[in-house]
Structure 1
Amino acid sequence: MMFEKMKNIDTAFRQVRLFTMLIVMGAIIISVFVIYRTTKVLAVNNGKVYVLVNGKLVEAIAQKRNIPVELRDHIRTFHTLFFTLSPDEKAIRQQITKALYLADGSAQRIYQNMKEAGFYNNLISGNISQTIEIEHIEVDTDKKPYRFRCTGKQYITRPTSTLIREIITAGTIRTGLVQSDNNTHGFLIERWEIVDNKDIKVSER
C-alpha cells in the first residue's frame, strides 16, 4: 500500500515536472517568436514616421534632408510667386502674400517700392501679365547664412507685344524655422535685392 502511494507521488511529480517544462518551453518559443516578429516589423518600417493629422494616423517617410535641393526649391518658389502676375488686383495680392511668407522685410520693401511706383496698377490698367523663367540658382552652402544668386528671364505680355527682360537677384537664406503650409521648407530669404533687371528683346504679338 505504502509502495503504491510512493509510486503515485513519483508519477504525479513527474507529471508536474513535465507540465512545468512544457510551460517553460512554450514561454521560450513565444518569446523568440515575438522578438523575431518585432525585429521584422522594425526592419520593414525602418525610416517611417507616423503623424496624427485631423485625428487620423498618416504615414510619413523620414529621410535625411537634402538642404541644397530644398534651398534652390525655396528660392525658385519665392521668385515664381513674386514675379508671376496677372492683371487682376486680387490675384496679385494673393501671389505676393504667398511670396512674402518666404522672405523677410527686404522683399516687403521691394514690393512697397514697386507698388508706390505704380507697377501693379500699370499691369491692371494695361491688361499686362508677367511670368518668370528661372535659369540658374547658385547657393553657397559653405557657411550660414547661405548666400544665393538667382538668374532668370521675365516675360511681360502686353496686348500687342511681349517684352523679355533679364533679372538677377541675390540674398541670403536663414534655415531652422518651423515648417508650415505657408513655408514648407522652414527657410527665410533675407537681404533680398534685385541686382539687375534689363530689357533683352521685344517682339510683336
Structure 2
Amino acid sequence: MFTQFKNIDTAFKHIRLFSFFLILACVSISCFAIYKYYAFFNLKDQRIYILYNGKVLTALASDRKSNLPVELRDHIRTFHQYFFSLSPDDKAIKASVTRALYLADESAKKQYDNFQENGYYNNLIAANISQEIVVDSIQLDVDRFPYPFRCFATQKLVRSSSTVYRKLISQGVVDDLKNQTDNNPHGFLIRGWEILENRDAVNKQKVDL
C-alpha cells in the first residue's frame, strides 16, 4: 500500500511540475503575442499612403527624433541666411531680418538693434554692398536640452571694386516650441544667440576684363 501511495505522490509531483511549465509557457506566449501586436500596431500607425499618378503607394513615416539633427541644422542655417544674406535695399533688409527674428528670441533682436545703431545697414546701402553667407559647419549636441550649437560660416561682401570675405562664428541653444507655423516650419527657437567672431579673412580685388 505504501508503494501505491508513493507512486501517487510521485505522479502528483510530475503533474504539478508539468502544470507549472504549461502555465509558464502560456504566459510567455501571451506576452510575446501582446508585444508583437503592439509592434504591429505602431508600425501600422507609421504607415502612410501616397496617391501618385493614380496609384496608391505605401510609405513609412519616420520618427522626428531620427531626423532631429537634420532639422536643427536646417533651422540654424536658415536663421543665419536670413540674418546675414542681405541686399543693399532698406525694405529687403528689414524683410529678411524679420524672417530671421521669427526663428530666434530677443537675443537676435538685440544684435539687429546693435547693427542698426552702429550704422551697419546704412553702410551696406550707401556703399551698394551685397552680403551673402555660407554656413560651413555646425557643431550640435543633441544629447543636451536645449540643444547647444556653434555655427561656423563665411560672409561674402561684394562691392563694386572688391570682394571681402569674413569669418563668422556664433553660438546659442535651440529650444523646441512643439508648435510649427508658416514663419517657423520646424517649430524651434534659437535662444541666447551671440556672435563670437566676425573678422576679415580674404580680400579679393575685382579686375575689369
Number of matched pairs: 154
Structure 1 residue 63 corresponds to structure 2 residue 88 = no
Q: Scaled by the length of structure 1, what TM-score is found?
A: 0.71
- 2:47 matches 1:47: yes
Equivalent residue number for residue 75 of structure 2:
74
- Conserved 8 A contact 1:49-1:62: no
Provide TM-score, normalisation by structure 2: 0.70
Tell me how far apart the structure 1 counterparts of residues 60 and 120 of structure 2 sit (CA, whole Å): 44
What is the distance in 2 between the residues matched to 1:189 and 1:164?
25
Question: Which string of whole-angstrom CA distances, capped at 9 and with x for unpartnered residues, describes residues 40-94 of structure 1?
Answer: xxx99952289xxxxxxxxx97431111110000000000110000001111011
Alignment RMSD, CA only? 2.0
- Tell me which residue corresponds to 1:152: 153
- Residue 78 of structure 1 aligns to a residue whose secondary structure is helix
User: CA separation in 1, counterparts of 2:49 and 2:184?
Assistant: 21
CA distance in 1, matches of 2:46, 2:145: 32
Partner residue of 1:204? 205
Which whole-Å CA distance do the structure 1 matches of 2:171 and 2:87 have between them?
A: 24
Residue of structure 2 in register with 1:142 after alignment: 143
Residue 9 (structure 2) aligns with: none
Residue aligned with 1:107, SS:
helix
- Bigger mean CA offset, 128-137 vs 172-181: 172-181
Structure 2 residues not aligned, in runs of 5+: 1-42, 51-58
* Cα distance in 1 between the residues matched to 2:136 and 2:62: 28
Q: Is the 8 A contact 2:107 2:194 kept in 1?
A: yes
Structure whose alpha-carbon radius of gyration is higher:
1
Distance in 1 of aligned mates of 2:49 and 2:87: 40
Q: Describe the shift of the 1:118–1:142 C-alpha distance in structure 2 as closer, same or farther (beyond 3 A).
A: same
Q: What residue ranges of structure 1 are gaps of 5+ in the alignment?
A: 1-42, 51-59
1:142, CA displacement in angstroms?
1.2
Inter-partner Cα distance in structure 1 for 2:46 and 2:168: 45
Provide Cα deviations, 1:135-167, integer angstroms capped at 9, x if missing partner. 010111111011000001000011100000100
Q: Which amino acid aligns with 1:105?
A: E
Structure 1 partner of 2:119 = 118
